[in-house]
Amino acid sequence: MPEQHRPEPPHRTTTVETGRFCAARCSCGWRGPARRARSKARADAAAHGESP
């Protein structure tokens, strides 16, 4: 992961699909559990963004 010279970026969450599963992933290195539904993965990401 490339380091950026910027002031404290917030938790940038994305979702990554691995096969049939989808998992939330964050720029801080956090990764959510694999979910079958992307909406679930997004919910994980949202929850992490609110309370890392």
Chain residues binding Zn ion by CB under 5 A are 11, 26, 28, 30, 52
Q: Which two tokens stand for residue 40?
A: 């679930």
Rank residues 22 and 26 by Cβ distance to Zn ion and give the closer one: 26
Nearest approach in angstroms of CB 28 to Zn ion is 3
Per-residue burial over 32-43, b if 16 or more Cβ lie within 10 Å, else e, is bebbeeeebbbe
Rank residues 23 and 26 by Cβ distance to Zn ion and give the closer one: 26
Gap between the Cα atoms of 52 and 44, Å rounded: 11
Rank residues 15 and 20 by Cβ distance to Zn ion and give the closer one: 15
